[in-house]
Structure 1
Amino acid sequence: MKYRLMAAVSAASMICTLNLAAAAELSFAASSTGNNLEFFRKQFVIFEEKTGHKVNIVSMPSSSSEQFSQYRLWLAAGNKDVDVYQTDVIWAPQLADQFVDLKEAAKDVVEQFFPSIIASQTVNDRLVALPMYTDAPALYYRKDLLEKYGKQPPKTWDELAETAREIQEKERTAGQKDMWGFVFQGNSYEGLTCNALEWVKSSGGGQIVEPDGTISINNEKAAAAIDRAKGWVGTISPPGVLAYQEEESRGVWQTGNAVFMRNWPYAYSLGNGADSAVKGEFDVTTLPVAALGDRPSSALGGWNLAVSKYSDDQQAAIELVKFLASKDVQKARAIELSNLPTLVALYDDQDVAAAQPFMPEWKPIFQDAVPRPSATAKVKYNEVSSKFWTAVHNTLSGNGTAAENLELLEADLTILKGDSW
């Protein structure tokens, strides 16, 4: 009897040891924008209960440019400390060789995603990241102020500037001394590439580098679009906008000190939060164009999940990626954070529609989204973008005209391109 008891205890101990050995401790690098980290922490509790794996968050800056620089350093060094990376839609061609191919692991779910988004994360027939949520910015507007002054949401950039200036002046006269007409992301980083691409593309000025590899940015329409934006700084936009990223813009907007804002979907739920001065007082529409008849252009964004090829726990990391990209988690993210799902079925989900009635309004914004030229420039994209946002920031700051800076940019990009991208 004693022998049997000892054998049973020994067997139980062996099972526990095996279970502990099977459990992994993962590190996940994620953006600190908005309530992103708080959301992940809640989901990791569920994941840990289901799998036994533990997940630690490596908090990254909200600036995507800073994130990319750090990721590239870690991956180039073969860093084993991070197992899963939250990745921007544009990084797939640049970091593909450092990530695990998820094609086989995701074969049971891949058809549930928008094909175009899966394609954006597929490099040389390898699925290097699984889509978590997609993104396309919109024009946020204070519907209470537009109604107050008998205005409609602007269709053109000039109409936006005129409406913003008029309401800004009248609100300041009425005592709102901190009111500004329009806030956007003017800092010298990837966000400015997105903003400026929208100004240029919606003005008929191309998309920096065309899909066939042609460097198209040095043209009159592109220069006019950027010079137009320069005219906003210090008039309808605060001088400090030249240092704004997404969160700084949202800060001005959410305290009730802007008529219009260009931002991503995440700002919608935060703007309707209990602590928001604009709760229930705003709406969204497509970004303006240069002239009626032009197509609106929103920079295609989105965030994905990639497994480092240097991870010692790749299977557990893949489990985490599939969990975070799953229907349940994407549904929770859509409801709680107003992030756009990458799963087709969730756009017909009644709970999502009830919680975020704006999402159907985002469909035309998403449909008109323009990709940054990462697929064309491939591993050189980061340098292309950096040179572009620097040229734009110089113009906005008064360091040369748009025409002068775009001519220099074309020369730099030609050298960077060499014989081919």
Structure 2
Amino acid sequence: MKFLVTFIALLFTYICLTLEIELNFVINSYSVLDDAFQLIIEEFNNYANETNLDIQLKMTYFTDENDGDIGYNDYDKTLKLLEKKKNKYDIFAYDPLYLKIFSNYLLDLKKYPDNTIKEYLDLYSTKDNIDLTEYNGHRVGFPLFLIISVLHSNVNYLRKHNKDVPKTWSELIETTEYILEKEKDDNPDLIGYNGLFPDNENALCSFYQFIYSYREEKELDIPEFDSQTAIDAAEEIMNIKNTISSYEIFKSNEKHIVDEMITENMVFVNFYSSARMPNYTISALPGKKPGINGSIIGGFNLGINKNIIDERKNASIEVLKYIFSENFQKEIIVKN
């Protein structure tokens, strides 16, 4: 009799486990946000266990280490996964930059037959959020992280040499030249400035951002590429590279930049606001004139693959409802 009871208990446990849905959460690894993604997965799985939700999240990473050709946001590999009609990948974290490309493969949340999702959509219906998550009237995600490019300045070197955070590109060059000259004996490998021109979309974004920072007045739009303003900006980019940086540093990828910041081996860094490092202060990127600058806006949306079966769609909706609930958003902000 005791054996029978044990057998029934084990059988019940097995049935419960087999009924649990394991969802695959696809993320393009971005070093400074990896911990945040891991925290989200862990928090949801704990919540699901506590509430008997029978859903678990499993993370699938694309990283620089897996493939030397992958950038921080490898959209072509994500697209290949989404194009599969029979798909085992459920929830995707994607850059809003590729909203148009991914929209055909993601679930339109406004048309999903679960009325409870509407209140969550309403919470994220500001113009900025709509611009980031809606294409051709189809709402294909929620905005998870929003980040902007800023100037990270090494406060140790600024204090040591009694220098201020630069507000113009000419000040950046002058200050960096001074610090590199003073440090050349003790720290000959010190990097002045990175530029942020890796082999991915960040290079083009950085180029646009720099040209925009060269406009004469705040109210003006980005200069035309064939304008004298754009030509002057391009020449200044080359001047910065040749004076306080190098081709190799300008082309370095995001992981290398983060590694150099961790070791505090860079004086000034053009990088995203999410990379908060000790001994670096953040400010607006410089411009041609003080107070006239530019920035890159990036981040991650979360969307659901529309080619998965209804059972997995329903489970994925439950995940989004938890992640984008007001309580969880407050919690994740506090923990990060």
Give TM-score, length-normalised by structure 2.
0.82
Mapped pair 1:41 → 2:38: yes
Mapped pair 1:31 → 2:38: no
Question: Cα deviation per residue 1:60-106 (whole Å; 9 max; x = unaligned)?
Answer: 13655762111222223335021111010111122111100122553
Question: Cα deviation per residue 1:262-307 (whole Å; 9 max; x = unaligned)?
Answer: 1112210xx2xxxxxxx3x22110011112353x211111111010
Q: Does the CA contact (< 8 Å) of 1:102 and 1:130 recur in 2?
A: no
Question: Cα deviation per residue 1:345-386 (whole Å; 9 max; x = unaligned)?
Answer: xxxxxxxxxxxxxxxxxxxxxxxxxxxxxxxxxxxxxxxxxx
Compared CA separation, residues 32 and 332, structure 1 to 2 (3 A): farther
Question: What is the distance in 2 between the residues matched to 1:153 and 1:167?
Answer: 12
- 2:144 is aligned, of 107, 111, 132, to 132
Question: What is the distance in 1 between the residues matched to 2:13 and 2:177?
Answer: 70
Paired AA for residue 181 in structure 1: G
Question: What is the distance in 2 between the residues matched to 1:290 and 1:255?
Answer: 30
Q: Does the CA contact (< 8 Å) of 1:180 and 1:238 recur in 2?
A: no
State the 1:309 CA deviation: 0.7
Q: Which residue of 1 aligns with 2:59?
A: 57
Mapped pair 1:108 → 2:119: yes
- 1:203 is aligned, of 207, 214, 220, to 214
Q: Which residue of 2 aligns with 1:389?
A: none
Question: Cα deviation per residue 1:212-255 (whole Å; 9 max; x = unaligned)?
Answer: xxx93332212221221122224311431243122211222221
Question: What is the distance in 1 between the residues matched to 2:106 and 2:197?
Answer: 32
Task: Name the SS for the 1:306 alignment partner.
Answer: strand
Specify every segment of 5 or more residues in structure 2 that has no aligned partner in the other structure, as ranges: 65-69
Task: Name the SS for the 1:235 alignment partner.
Answer: helix
Q: Give aligned pairs, total.
A: 311
- 2:161 is aligned, of 149, 159, 162, to 149
Compared CA separation, residues 39 and 285, structure 1 to 2 (3 A): closer
Q: Does the CA contact (< 8 Å) of 1:181 and 1:237 recur in 2?
A: yes
Q: Which residue of 2 aligns with 1:84?
A: 91
Compared CA separation, residues 15 and 118, structure 1 to 2 (3 A): farther
Q: Does the CA contact (< 8 Å) of 2:29 and 2:73 recur in 1?
A: no
Compared CA separation, residues 13 and 147, structure 1 to 2 (3 A): closer
Structure 2 matches for 1:300-311, cutoff 5 A?
300-311=297-308
Q: Does the CA contact (< 8 Å) of 2:92 and 2:305 recur in 1?
A: yes
Q: Which residue of 1 aligns with 2:173?
A: 161
Q: Which residue of 2 aligns with 1:318?
A: 317
State the 1:159 CA deviation: 1.1
Mapped pair 1:334 → 2:336: no
Q: Does the CA contact (< 8 Å) of 2:198 and 2:254 recur in 1?
A: no
Task: Name the SS for the 1:298 alignment partner.
Answer: coil
- 1:189 is aligned, of 181, 193, 200, to 200
Mapped pair 1:256 → 2:276: no
Paired AA for residue 257 in structure 2: S
Question: What is the distance in 1 between the residues matched to 2:145 and 2:297?
Answer: 11
State the 1:59 CA deviation: 0.7
Task: Name the SS for the 2:288 alignment partner.
Answer: coil
Q: Does the CA contact (< 8 Å) of 1:83 and 1:317 recur in 2?
A: yes
Paired AA for residue 139 in structure 2: L
Paired AA for residue 193 in structure 2: F
Specify every segment of 5 or more residues in structure 1 that has no aligned partner in the other structure, as ranges: 1-5, 272-278, 338-421
Q: Does the CA contact (< 8 Å) of 2:191 and 2:265 recur in 1?
A: yes
Q: Does the CA contact (< 8 Å) of 2:29 and 2:72 recur in 1?
A: no
Task: Name the SS for the 1:136 alignment partner.
Answer: strand
Q: Does the CA contact (< 8 Å) of 1:139 and 1:260 recur in 2?
A: yes
Structure 2 matches for 1:289-308, cutoff 5 A?
289-292=287-290, 294=292, 296-308=293-305
Structure 2 matches for 1:256-295, cutoff 5 A?
256-268=264-276, 271=277, 279=278, 281-292=279-290, 294=292
RMSD: 3.0
Question: What is the distance in 2 between the residues matched to 1:108 and 1:178?
Answer: 54
State the 1:124 CA deviation: 2.0
Question: Runs of at least 4 residues of structure 1 off by over 4 A?
Answer: 12-17, 19-22, 62-66
State the 1:20 CA deviation: 5.2
State the 1:143 CA deviation: 2.0
The percentage of counterpart residues that share the same residue type is 21
Q: Does the CA contact (< 8 Å) of 2:72 and 2:254 recur in 1?
A: no
Paired AA for residue 171 in structure 2: E
State the 1:16 CA deviation: 8.2
